[in-house]
């Protein structure tokens, strides 16, 4: 009888201890949550679980929306690329056509400058058939020659001074060599058969000369 009473007392004490321990654990949990509010919403609830499921169900729709936006941007970029490519092709063709026209009519200004001299020559030729004054005719031809020389100088063309200068293969073409008595003329140009000309600093035409030896 005494043993049964002791067992009953032990069971009761165990229940009291367990209840006390659960209460302490609950109190400790509440106290921890009060001290750390950032963890207060970490415990799952039916509402949050339902929200998670709903967001999971909407995920495919979001992916489709993002894909549609990406396709629209890609189509826009392709359209811009096609337009830009077409514009560049038109620019290239227009530039090529302009270059061809420039090369075709590059000497237009030069020829316009020569035409007045050509007019003077035609007038001189007409007077040659009727005039008897050779002096006036020669004066007219000299005037035309001077005008043409001035025109060449204005366009950067000037004569190469060759006579009595040292023979220079960069400026002269030796057509012939002749013996000379004066030793100072040996290796020099003693006659010019065809004048040479510079264009700016470049040799436009070599002079054809006779060299003394």
State the Cα–Cα distance between residues 183 and 141, nearest whole angstrom. 39
CA dist 154 and 148 (Å) reads 10
Q: What is the pLDDT of residue 61?
A: 78
Nearest Cα residue to 162 out of 110, 205, 117, 111: 205
Distances (CA, A) of 194 to 5, 145, 163, 209: 151, 17, 11, 7
Q: What is the pLDDT of residue 39?
A: 45
Topology of domain 157-213 in CATH is: Nucleotide Exchange Factor Grpe; Chain A, domain 2 (2.30.22)
Name which residue leads in pLDDT, 8 or 191. 191
Q: Where are the domains of the chain?
A: 1-31, 58-106, 107-155, 157-213
Sorted by sequence, the CB contacts under 8 Å of residue 39 that are 6+ apart come out as: 32, 33
What string of DSSP letters covers 157-197? EEE---TTSBP-TTTEEEEEEE--S-GGGTTBEEEEEE--E
Confidence of residue 153 (pLDDT cuts 50, 70, 90): very high
pLDDT value, residue 102: 82
Tell me: the pLDDT tens digits for 16-27? 455 554 555 555
Q: Which H helix or E strand runs over 150?
A: helix 134-154
Query: SS3 string of 36-61?
Result: CHHHCCCCCCHHHHHHHHHHHHHHHH
Q: Give the residue from 148, 149, 127, 126 showing the smallest Cα distance to 136.
A: 127
**Residue, of 24 and 1, whose pLDDT is higher:** 24
Residue 81 has pLDDT above 80, yes or no: yes
pLDDT score, position 12: 47
Q: Which of 82-91, 100-109, 201-210 has the lowest average pLDDT?
A: 100-109
Task: Report the C-alpha gap between 32 and 42 in whole angstroms.
Answer: 13
Query: For residue 35, what pLDDT is reported?
Result: 57
| pLDDT, tens digit (0-9, with 9 covering 90-100), for 111-124 | 888 899 999 988 88
Average pLDDT in the 94-121 region?
Answer: 86
pLDDT of residue 41: 47
């Amino acid at each position: 009888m005494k043993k049964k009473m002791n067992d009953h007392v032990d069971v009761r004490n165990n229940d009291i201890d367990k209840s006390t321990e659960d209460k302490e654990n609950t109190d400790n949990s509440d106290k921890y949550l009060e001290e750390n509010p950032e963890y207060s919403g970490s415990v799952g609830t039916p509402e949050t679980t339902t929200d998670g499921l709903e967001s999971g169900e909407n995920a495919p729709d979001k992916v489709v929306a993002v894909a549609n936006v990406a396709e629209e941007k890609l189509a826009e970029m392709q359209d811009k690329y096609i337009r830009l490519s077409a514009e560049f092709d038109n620019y290239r063709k227009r530039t090529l056509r302009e270059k061809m026209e420039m090369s075709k009519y590059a000497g237009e200004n030069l020829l316009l400058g020569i035409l007045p001299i050509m007019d003077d020559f035609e007038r001189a030729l007409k007077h040659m058939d009727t005039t008897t004054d050779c002096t006036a005719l020669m004066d007219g031809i000299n005037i035309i020659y001077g005008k043409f020389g001035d025109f060449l100088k204005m366009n950067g063309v000037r004569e190469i001074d060759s006579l009595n200068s040292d023979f220079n293969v960069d400026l002269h073409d030796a057509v012939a060599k002749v013996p000379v008595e004066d030793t100072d003329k040996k290796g020099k140009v003693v006659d010019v058969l065809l004048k040479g000309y510079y264009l700016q600093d470049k040799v436009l035409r070599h002079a054809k000369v006779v060299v003394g030896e």
